[in-house]
Amino acid sequence: MRYFGVIGSPIHHSLSPLIHNFLFSYLGISAHYDKFDIPSPSLLASTLQSLSGANITLPYKEEVFGLCDEVRGFAQEVEAVNTVLCRNQKLCGFNTDGLGFWECIKNLELKTALVLGAGGSARAIAMMLKKQGVDTMIYNRTPSKVDFFLSRGIGVLETLEVKEVDLLVHTTSVGLDGKSLPYQQEKLQSLVSKAKYVFDVIYPSQKGIVGIDQFRDFFLSRPKTAFLGLSSQGMDGLEMLLYQAFFAFEIFCDGQYCFEELKALFYNSLK
């Protein structure tokens, strides 16, 4: 039996165990995936080394980047890790957030984007948008966190004011409680009204989702996040969660299963 998990704090809302355990079970893989609420960065290394692999969420994606013995692919560019393999006590880091996000919005016609926040998810999203030729800016209230973006040619807004933008993306942790907004509501409402498309990395959650049947009902009738409540239409982060999980599952299984195969398998179970 191999053991995997999602590491962060808070972590109670995460649906990652349901996704991975469904795939392990369906494919007959002897493995189990759990949640690990880690209150202190000092516990990260020992927790990671006790597992075969893990996903990393708020607030540790940048911290884990520095703990890895090796970092591959896109994670090197964004200096943030959301997927880790542990072999022979060596940690190898990857980032599937950028690909998971792009799968959600790749069919939109985009020239400009504004990303709210400057953490690990914001790095992956902004860098992926830039790689795809989208003129991308970020806004964050903590000046010390914007240096990464400036050094990579991503512009930084000093105030929450734009004339218009094709895509507005919210990546801060504010809103995990289901009701809070990251900035003053009137300013956000004005900003949302100037965007063609709105994306919230946060996804709604609820207690009692323990199987694929409960997930199916929730997936089809889930409420809006607080941020998306400001928009007449928009996309939450639940499908991004699924897509990045499928890419991570590829890594956990050494490429034995591909993204499209895993996506089809999981979505067919929701019908």
List the catalytic residues: 61
CA atoms within 13 A on the CB side of 126: 31
Helix, strand, coil fractions of the chain, as percent rounded to 5:
40, 20, 40
Q: How high is the pLDDT of residue 142? A: 84
State the average pLDDT over residues 187-205: 94
Threshold 0.85, pTM exceeds: yes
Percent pLDDT > 70 in the chain is 100
| Res. 143: pLDDT tops 90 | no
Band of the pLDDT at 243, cuts 50, 70, 90?
A: very high
Lowest mean pLDDT among 14-28, 107-121, 137-151, 238-252: 137-151
The owner of tokens 């990045």 is 244
- Which homologous superfamily does the CATH classification assign to the domain defined by 99-236? NAD(P)-binding Rossmann-like Domain (3.40.50.720)
The matching CATH number, chosen from 1.10.510.10, 3.90.230.10, 3.40.50.10860, 3.40.50.720, for 2-96+241-268 is: 3.40.50.10860
Q: What percent of the chain has pLDDT over 90?
A: 87
Could you give the 3-state DSSP secondary structure of residue 112?
strand
Q: List the beta strands (DSSP E) in the chain.
A: 2-8, 31-37, 53-56, 70-71, 83-87, 90-94, 112-116, 135-139, 155-156, 165-170, 195-200
Q: For the chain, first and last CA: distance in Å?
A: 30
Domain chopping of the chain, boundaries:
2-96+241-268, 99-236
Q: What are phi and psi of 218, to 5 degrees?
A: -65, -45
Express each pLDDT in 65-117 by its tens digit. 999 999 999 999 999 999 999 988 899 999 999 999 999 999 999 999 999 99
β-bridge partners, 8: 37
